[in-house]
Amino acid sequence: MTRLDWQELDWQRAAPADLPEGAAYLEVAVGPDDQILMRESNDPETVVVTTRAKWDAFIKGVKAGEFDDFADLVEDDFADRTETDEPAEK
C-alpha cells in the first residue's frame, strides 16, 4: 500500500466536541491485511502502521485504565497552555 492509497481509506476521527480550533486529533483507519494505520490531523502524511493484535492489546489497556496517568499529564499541560497561551514549562 502506498501513501497515495492511504488517502482513500476510511479514516475515523477521535476529536472531542470541545477541541479548540486548529488543534490536532487522531485519525485511525484499517488497511489491507487488517493493518491499523494512525495519523494526526495536522500531519496526515506521517502514518504509523501496526498490527490488529497490537491495536487490540492497546485498546484493552486503554479500557483497563493502564494509560490514565498519561492522560492526566496531557490534560494538565493542555490546561496550562490554554490559560497562558504559551507552552508549559517542563
Q: What is the pLDDT of residues 43-73, one digit of tens each?
A: 988 999 999 999 999 999 999 999 888 877 6
Element (DSSP H or E) covering residue 85:
none
The average confidence (pLDDT) of the chain is 79
| Closest to 39 measured CA to CA, from 52, 29, 30, 31 | 29
| C-alpha–C-alpha distance, residues 50 and 58, integer Å | 11
| Model confidence, pTM | 0.64
**Cβ atoms of 6 and 47 closer than 8 Å:** yes
